[in-house]
Chain A
Amino acid sequence: MNFAILDDVLPDMQELTTQTLQRALRSTPICQIGPVVEYAFVQASFPQVLPALTTWHHSLIIEAYLGLIRSGNGHLPTSASPYAQEVEFAWAPSTRQAFANPAWVAFRKRFQDAAQRSGLPKATAQGITGACDEMVSNGFEHSERPDTSIIGYRWDRGEFELVVADRGIGVLESLRQHSDYSDLQDTGTALRTAMTDGESRFGRHGSRGYGFRQVFLSLAQLDGCLRFRSGDQRLEIAGQGPTLAAASIAQAAAYQGLLVSIVCHA
């Protein structure tokens, strides 16, 4: 399973047989956490059409994700270790106080440790941790369903991956709550708008809307792949020092909420 297969198969999922879907989805090994999370969130909206992850053969990533789901919403990881695991998922804080919970603080340290173990310089790992803080805080502030927000990381030599995803109201509905964006019609434009400096559901003339800036700053010296999913659109950026100017937008299967997936190479 990878993003390319999801993009190929999921938009037409209602027209394909279960056999065809399963063959396509299982045609490649599971190497990244982003596709698994995106699939799981889409599957939750189409349980009659898409096979549940529990039907997959053993995969470290799927087991880690299902372990999170089985632990129950909001259940924080019990490990106090600052040392990274190969793959780890956690529920994001759903209250302001939960951001100070020692279990969350420890997870954050493991996150940064994983980024450094992948080969990223310490300053870059700190920058990516700051970017993760922004994405998690965005979900808390804007999704209106912070209890659904999850975060995951995966590292390997030379590669670090993170995903932050929620099943909230999505970017389009979030922006439309302000009169500055009342005439926004499609999610692709909403995604691009949300990622632009100074734009947020609080309007254009405040001091907010700079959360995605840290994402781009942290990847400025890296080769990275970014994917943002909300509604029926996906926004992707790939390359050295990715910027919003290089973004492409395309149709995708319906996704309730917002998903941010980042893969970067040391």
Chain B
Amino acid sequence: MHSVHVGKLAGDDTLGGAANGLNLLAKLLPLLSAQSTGTAFFLDFGDVAMATSSFLRESVIGLRNHCRQNRPDLQVVVANPNQVVLEELGFLLTKTNDALVVCRLNKAGTPSDARVLGLLDAKQTLALKGVLKLGGADAASLASHFKDEDEIGLTGWSNRLATLASKGLVVETKNGRSKIYRPTVEGMSYGA
């Protein structure tokens, strides 16, 4: 588990503009090589007073998307955002039909109060709730758990789980031939 103080890395507590977001992303990418497989990479916003949507899009979402392509074993999590940053991130995610995990992170690096911020469609929501309830699931266990609510096949559940992983909400691990998906941060929640 690895965390980065965003304000310190960016050199300011007031973060705005797409160009500055891209510059922060350029600083973050080399740090990924030190990150172990299958872990959460925490962007600690505890030292940031405010951040604009453009900045968050290029840095946070940019890093998440980079990991999706190049390090699918890593999940980006936003830690310790204040209310201003949280509202702006929530606004961006809602407008773009996207979602991320946010949480509190203490000095020891232990996360708490983890939750999914943003929007998921009904199918993704069902899959995520299944993973959260079961503590970890594969396509077969979700199909069994929801057999009375949703009759889609294993491929459909696999696709939904893969989408959740691409958003950084669940971590994929291989178990023989099957893939098991666990919440990115233990104890995380979604919705009310």
Contact = CB atoms under 8 A, between A and B. Distances in A.
Nearest to A98: B19
Contacts of B49: 123, 126
A149 to B, nearest CB: 12
Interface in A69-124: 93, 96-97, 99-100, 105, 108, 112, 123
Nearest to A108: B12
B135 interface: no
Given A96-B19, A213-B53, A129 B95 contact: no
A80 to B, nearest CB: 14
Given A126-B14, A197-B95, A207-B92, A93 B54 contact: no
B20 A99 contact: yes
Interface in A153-210: 197-198, 207-208, 210
Contacts of A140: 19
Nearest to B16: A133
A123 B98 CA distance: 28
A232 interface: no
Contact of A96 (B22, B51, B57, B92): B22
**Quick one: which of B16, B18, B91 has the most chain A CB within 10 A?**
B16
A18 to B, nearest CB: 42
B11 interface: yes
A141 interface: yes
B53 A130 contact: no
A214 interface: yes
A34 interface: no
Given A129-B14, A130-B14, A214-B52, A207 B96 contact: yes
Contacts of A132: 16
B95 A210 contact: yes
B163 interface: no
Interface string B46-77: 00011111110100010000000000000000
Nearest to A141: B18
Interface residues of A, number: 29
Nearest to B51: A130
B57 A137 contact: no
Nearest to A131: B16
Contact of A126 (B13, B19, B20, B55): B13
Given A105-B11, A129-B14, A207-B61, A93 B19 contact: yes
Contacts of A208: 54, 57
A132 B54 CA distance: 12
Interface residues on B, range: 20 to 34
B101 interface: no
A210 B53 contact: yes
Nearest to A205: B96
A133 B49 CA distance: 15
A3 B50 CA distance: 32
Contact of B92 (A93, A99, A141, A210): A210
B54 A134 contact: yes
A210 B22 contact: no
Interface in B1-58: 11-20, 22-23, 49-55, 57
B54 A211 contact: yes
A127 interface: yes
Interface of B: 11-20, 22-23, 49-55, 57, 61, 84, 91-92, 95-96, 98
22 contacts: A96-B23, A97-B23, A99-B23, A100-B23, A105-B11, A112-B14, A126-B50, A127-B50, A130-B50, A130-B52, A130-B55, A132-B16, A133-B20, A140-B19, A207-B95, A207-B98, A210-B53, A210-B92, A211-B54, A213-B52, A213-B53, A214-B52
Interface of A: 93, 96-97, 99-100, 105, 108, 112, 123, 126-127, 129-134, 136-137, 140-141, 197-198, 207-208, 210-211, 213-214
Given A133-B16, A213-B52, 4 more contacts: A105-B12, A133-B15, A207-B57, A210-B91
